Amino acid sequence: MRGLIQHTISELFDRKLVYAFALVTLVAVLLVLFSTTIDISFGGEEQDLGDLSQAMGDTFLKGLSMFLSFLVFLAVMGTAGLIPTMLSPGQSDYFLSKPLSRTRLMLSKFCSIFSVYGAVIVVCGAVVWLAMSVSYLGFSGAIFYLFLSHLISLFIWLSITALAGVMSNSSAMSIMAAFTVWVLKVVVSSARAFEDVLGSKLLKFFLDALYQILPKTDQIETIGERLTSDLFIASYSAVWTSLLFAVVLLFLTVVTFNRRSY
Amino acid sequence: MNVIEVTELSKVYASGLGRGGIVALDGVSFSVEQGQIVGLLGPNGAGKTTLFKILLNITKPTGGRARLSGLPASDPLSRQRVGYLPENHRFPDHQTGIGLMELTARLYGVESSLFEDQLEPLLELVGMEKWGETKLRKYSKGMLQRIGLAQALVSDPEILLLDEPTDGVDPVGKIEIREALLKIRNQGKSIILNSHLLSEVESVADRVVILSKGKIVKSGSMAELTSQKSHIIIEAEIGHNIVEIPPRLGKVLSVSTKNMIVEVVDDSNLNPILELLFLKKIPIRSVKPMRISLEQSFLNTITEQEQTG
């Protein structure tokens, strides 16, 4: 595991991804620093500064959440090729000839990718959060939930690219699989909004089933934001069903990997 | 003690259309004893690399079984004391030579202190002590082969599987690698060497296994493969004597004043032939089977195989 973590870190530097994360973080910090001078027009009416403070806090929180989502997107795009590369001709022989079971090799590689890129996301997010805290927000330990929700998102997206990578041995297919799930997720969510006007019960059932099966990363991130703001959460089912989806995909990844000849 | 045992191993690759398939291995059985260098020979597509991959569980066999150090090849522990240099390898090229060896050591679970102790000697063994800190992408083909051999030795393996280890290596490097292999063999380790360079195999291997179309067509010690039992060299003071051998005993293939090469029909005919020389009072110095190069033996075997279908 330690060897694969070191290997994943060296891949991170070799692929120049670390610079992309650093650049995005720098831009975000500059945006935060320059957006703290805000002209507020009261328009002659009395305003409750407490409400205003809450509104500003929510805006920054939303901004930080979007930034973390973008980092997750970068990580998924950047790592989609790692497993196909490990399994490419010439390199698969090297890794598979070692005294590790395939299950252990795959899970170790997956955990290495998740922990290395998860750490990068947390560090970059923390830098932006510190800039926000120093400038405006004030420190709050509840931000932990926001980071956690995005790490869960990362875990789910990585499980999709891992399965696609093992099945296709192709970085492009891994990226396309992640995009396909994302598009499906958006389409199904949009279609469900109109399901009352859909005539077919079968179609409604199909849409509901698909909605339950597909990961709900947007909702997980919203849950993270609400927990950070200490707001009531009606249901955590989006978290459990999405995690179940990821675990099933990981299981299929390991099963497929174990059955394959290279 | 056998460190590798292969019994009735077969592998059929499914063809694209799902009907039939490509037979890569067809009932292959052989074993390798501890401390032996075995040369694995065969034309392209004979199944040599597939055999290596099955031994390492990289490819799943269709039938038969393979065991390493007494454990089934499917057991990860069977690979604990196996070093492997793949053909056409593509090591992670962002690693340095030392980085690759360190990664390999970690994947084998070799302790850091043990790895550090053996790093320098291994780099020296393959002549890469000056290039350890250089990234692999800057290495030449020969340097990649050398570092590949070093990483195969990181876990102090009992068994080494080397697929074309001198491919791309310069002549001096080839000699160095050959000497390194002999040194490793003398430490009691077993090596299976897959190489197209037959002279190289001939100079280091104790035994040879020849594969063709997925089957073992010949195997034996180097002496067995390179001797032609039916061809006998008789060193004798023949001078200008005329020696005629009845066709029922054999025939003279060549003759000079100091020796003659005779093809005997049967081993039991050798004595009557020698008696003929005694009768002519020709002093005999030695009688030995004629040796051919491994290359010639290999070509003969493959040609015979193709003729018999």
Task: For chain A, say whether B108 makes contact (Cβ under 8 Å).
Answer: yes
- The size of the A-B interface in CB pairs under 8 A is 81
Task: For chain A, say whether B48 makes contact (Cβ under 8 Å).
Answer: no
Q: Chain A: residue nearest B109 by CA?
A: A99
Q: Chain A: residue nearest B55 by CA?
A: A97
Residue A37's pLDDT is what? 56
Stretch among A23-32, B81-90, B272-281 having the lowest mean pLDDT: B272-281
- Mean of pLDDT over chain A: 88
**Residue B220, Ramachandran bin (φ over 0: left; ψ between -120 and 50: alpha; else beta):** left
Q: How far is A93 from chain B (nearest CA, A)?
A: 7
User: Residue B39's beta-bridge partner residues?
Assistant: B193, B208
Q: Among partner residues A101, A259, A262, which is closest to B58 by beta-carbon distance?
A: A262
* Best residue in A6, A13, A93, A260 for a mutation probing chain B (most B CBs within 10 Å): A93
**For residue A50, pLDDT beyond 80:** no
Q: Among partner residues B56, B84, B94, which is closest to A14 by beta-carbon distance?
A: B94
* Best residue in A88, A97, A103, A107 for a mutation probing chain B (most B CBs within 10 Å): A97
Task: For chain A, say whether B86 makes contact (Cβ under 8 Å).
Answer: yes
Please answer yes or no on whether B89 and A92 come within 8 Å at the CB atom: no
**For residue B282, pLDDT beyond 80:** yes
Q: How far is A7 from chain B (nearest CA, A)?
A: 7
Vertex B258, ends B256 and B262: CA angle to 5°? 60
Sequence-ordered list of residues with C-beta below 8 angstroms from that of A236, at least 6 positions apart, any chain: A223
In this structure, are residues B184 and B191 in contact, taking their beta carbons and an 8 Å threshold? yes
Task: Answer positive or negative: Cα dihedral of B198, B203, B208, B214.
Answer: negative
C-alpha–C-alpha distance, residues B118 and B104, integer Å:
13
Sequence-ordered list of residues with C-beta below 8 angstroms from that of B150, at least 6 positions apart, any chain: B97, B101, B122, B123, B125, B126, B128
- The ipTM, to two decimals, is 0.82
Looking at this protein, which amino acid is placed at residue B45? G
By CB atoms closer than 10 A (0-12, 13-18, 19+), residue B151 is: buried
Q: Among partner residues B82, B89, B99, which is closest to A90 by beta-carbon distance?
A: B89
Alpha-carbon distances, residue A42 vs A37, A48, A59, A136 (angstroms) = 16, 10, 19, 20
Task: For chain A, say whether B167 makes contact (Cβ under 8 Å).
Answer: no
Residues from chain A that touch B108, judged by Cβ atoms under 8 A, are: 98-99
Please answer yes or no on whether A94 and B60 come within 8 Å at the CB atom: no
A28: pLDDT confidence band, cut at 50, 70 and 90? very high
Residues from chain A that touch B63, judged by Cβ atoms under 8 A, are: none
**For residue A195, pLDDT beyond 80:** no
Task: For chain A, say whether B91 makes contact (Cβ under 8 Å).
Answer: yes
Q: Which residue has the higher pLDDT, A255 or B253?
A: A255
pTM score: 0.84
Stretch among A36-40, A165-169, B3-7, B208-212 having the lowest mean pLDDT: A36-40
B196: pLDDT confidence band, cut at 50, 70 and 90? confident
Please state, as a whole number, how many other Cβ atoms lie within 10 Å of the Cβ of residue A226.
17
DSSP sequence for A17-63? HHHHHHHHHHHHHHHHHHTS------TTS---HHHHHHHHHHHHHHH
Q: Among partner residues A11, A89, A98, which is closest to B94 by beta-carbon distance?
A: A11
Task: For chain A, say whether B270 makes contact (Cβ under 8 Å).
Answer: no
**Residue B11, Ramachandran bin (φ over 0: left; ψ between -120 and 50: alpha; else beta):** beta
* Best residue in A8, A98, A100, A102 for a mutation probing chain B (most B CBs within 10 Å): A98
Residue A36's pLDDT is what? 56
Residue A116's pLDDT is what? 95
As separate numbers, helices (DSSP H) first and strands (DSSP E) second, chain A gives 11, 0
Please answer yes or no on whether B108 and A99 come within 8 Å at the CB atom: yes
Q: What would the mean pLDDT of A181-208 be, rounded to a whole number?
A: 81
**For residue A39, pLDDT beyond 60:** no
As separate numbers, helices (DSSP H) first and strands (DSSP E) second, chain B gives 9, 14
Alpha-carbon distances, residue B204 vs A34, A228, B85, B148 (angstroms) = 72, 70, 17, 19
Please answer yes or no on whether B106 and A3 come within 8 Å at the CB atom: yes
By CB atoms closer than 10 A (0-12, 13-18, 19+), residue B307 is: exposed
Residue range B10-52, pLDDT digits in tens? 999 987 766 678 999 999 999 999 999 999 999 988 999 999 9
Please answer yes or no on whether A99 and B102 come within 8 Å at the CB atom: no
C-alpha–C-alpha distance, residues A261 and B53, integer Å:
9
Q: Chain A: residue nearest B54 by CA?
A: A261
Q: Chain B: residue nearest A257 by CA?
A: B58
Task: For chain A, say whether B106 makes contact (Cβ under 8 Å).
Answer: yes
Residue range B261-277, pLDDT digits in tens? 888 878 788 888 888 88
C-alpha–C-alpha distance, residues B29 and B10, integer Å:
10
Q: What would the mean pLDDT of B105-128 be, rounded to a whole number?
A: 92
Closest-CA residue to B158 (of B56, B52, B82, B105): B82
Q: Chain B: residue nearest A97 by CA?
A: B56
